[in-house]
Structure 1
Amino acid sequence: MTRQITVAALQLALNGSELENIEAVSDLVGNAAEQGAQIILPPELFAGPYFCKAEDEELFALAKPVSESAPVLAMQKLAKQLKVAIPASFFECDGQHFYNSIAMIGPDGEIMGVYRKTHIPDGPGYEEKFYFRPGNSGFKVWNIFGTTIGVGICWDQWYPETARAMALLGAEILFYPTAIGSEPYDADLDTSRMWRRAMQGHAVSNCMPVVASNRIGTEEGQTFYGHSFITNEWGDLVAEYGGGESGVLVSGFDLEQARNHRAGMGFFRDRRPELYGRLIEDR
């Protein structure tokens, strides 16, 4: 018995206007669909340049409710046309609250739900706590194309708790849209290798494929390092880009094979949650 799924990660520069960026992402989504991809992951906040480099009150005007978000509306139309699923990242306004969110769009073009980024970074070049409230959606998974997927957003990808929570909710593949690159406080610091290794570790520890999509290019002195990738359930890189390529990574998986490997490794069988109380203590 096999259960096949084909996934894709997009990598591209996103320093144009909202219309230009959405059109560029749409072109790559179409390319991925032509290659057989069923679930297609664009990078984080793909509608514009990464705006969290500094604190600017005027930028809150970029946020929209999910029903009015230009990138979400564009991806809904495309998903319906191509019969694909797209986790679409956007800057969400919900009343007086603002979130870094993804709208999970199904192949009928409908929004299956919204996940709001749980872990919010705060540091030079990544001033996200100024813009985003910590997500209140909890971790989510979605049933799509005969599988269940989980989606974390950028900073979420550093936390093994995020991956494990989604796995325990039934996820069989993990997706991480990202905007990450140079650190303004240290020009010599390149986190791209540890960034990959952290998520490869999630693949290994949860015995499931991981898909990560990042932007490239330089935006007002901040360079985004790409290195988007797809791993299999062993944590092996099966598709990857370096720091400059623009395009589509596509890979297919046998989910029954991954499920058998996951069961055989015993990581979920041998968990001892009764001893993990320290993990939820804030001290």
Structure 2
Amino acid sequence: MSKIKVAALQLAFGEDTARNIANVSEMVREGAAKGAQVVLPPELFEGPYFCRVEDEEQFATARMTAEHPSVLAMQKLADELSIWIPTSFFELDGQHHYNTLAMIGPGGRITGTYRKSHIPDGPGYEEKFYFRPGNTGFKVWEGAGTTLGVGICWDQWYPEVARSMMLMGAEILFYPTAIGTEPHDPDLDTSRLWRRAMIGHAVSNVVPIVAANRIGVEGGQRFYGHSFICDERGDLVAEFGADETGVLVAELDLAAAKKHRAAFGFFRDRRPELYGRLVEDI
């Protein structure tokens, strides 16, 4: 496929799980109506970002993949609309808990899952209390006539994640996110850094990127939005600020991106034999 339309959703979430999923569903429909073949909701969209604090009651909200309400709702939509919906959710697997993404495609089929590899741990982002580090490895999927790569939130800060997915054949990278203010440093606004990190992946891998974040204030923590879609040059082709609710839609030229990627020579000139230090834990 030469060109593809993609969408990123930005919205706030409250305590009512059914309402949150209904709001996301309405926006997924809007994205599909505008021609999007892949629609990306934010991370853990079934409710507030519960990882702000350590609360053992939250473990009761985890569900197995086939039983999670977010997954079930997006399966129904993907079937009805014949689109792809990378769906983030709180997964229960036996005694283990993961921050997981189900790649849901036309027909409502789950083509696979990815478990978040990098788990943050700090004020306002106490994820290590809830989630085991992912054990799936990085994943890409054949879908919408191309190859889709997905990292989850904290994964987006690591160049190794983007490069790994590219080496697996990804042609677009998607990052569902829940990120906002830093409780330990109220003066630190990471929204600029957040965008720059991912735009850096776009430039150094010559690949379009789609990022979806939440907005709103939850327990005193403000989620700063700034969802965006950029092309393989890192140029923003659709973007929101800190407060907008809505659906970003953009058409991406994958044939042009592939041509530019080859011309830049970043993958031609790699020297893997020199990179051993990257995987030494010392």
Distance, in Å, in 2 between the alignment partners of 1:100 and 1:152 is 11
1:278 maps onto 2:277 in alignment: yes
Instruction: In structure 1, give the amino acid aligned to 2:180.
Output: G
- State the Cα distance separating 1:16 from its structure 2 match: 3.7
Distance, in Å, in 2 between the alignment partners of 1:51 and 1:179 is 10
Counterparts of residues 74-113 of structure 1 (less than 5 Å): 74-113=73-112
- State the Cα distance separating 1:57 from its structure 2 match: 1.0
- State the Cα distance separating 1:184 from its structure 2 match: 0.6
Q: TM-score, normalised by structure 2?
A: 0.99
Counterpart secondary structure, 1:148: strand
Distance, in Å, in 1 between the alignment partners of 2:278 and 2:148 is 24
Q: TM-score, normalised by structure 1?
A: 0.99
Distance, in Å, in 1 between the alignment partners of 2:216 and 2:126 is 19
Number of the residue aligned with 1:167: 166
Distance, in Å, in 2 between the alignment partners of 1:33 and 1:168 is 29
5+ residue gaps, structure 1: none
Instruction: In structure 2, give the amino acid aligned to 1:146.
Output: G
- State the Cα distance separating 1:38 from its structure 2 match: 0.3
Counterparts of residues 71-150 of structure 1 (less than 5 Å): 71-150=70-149
Counterparts of residues 1-283 of structure 1 (less than 5 Å): 3-283=2-282
Count of paired positions: 282
Instruction: In structure 2, give the amino acid aligned to 1:275.
Output: L
5+ residue gaps, structure 2: none
Residue deviations 1:114-146 (CA, integer Å, cap 9, x gap): 000000000001000000000000000000121
Distance, in Å, in 1 between the alignment partners of 2:77 and 2:140 is 22
- State the Cα distance separating 1:58 from its structure 2 match: 1.1
Residue deviations 1:33-54 (CA, integer Å, cap 9, x gap): 0100000000000000000011
Deviating 4+ runs (over 3 angstroms):
none
Counterpart secondary structure, 2:226: coil
Instruction: In structure 2, give the amino acid aligned to 1:102.
Output: L
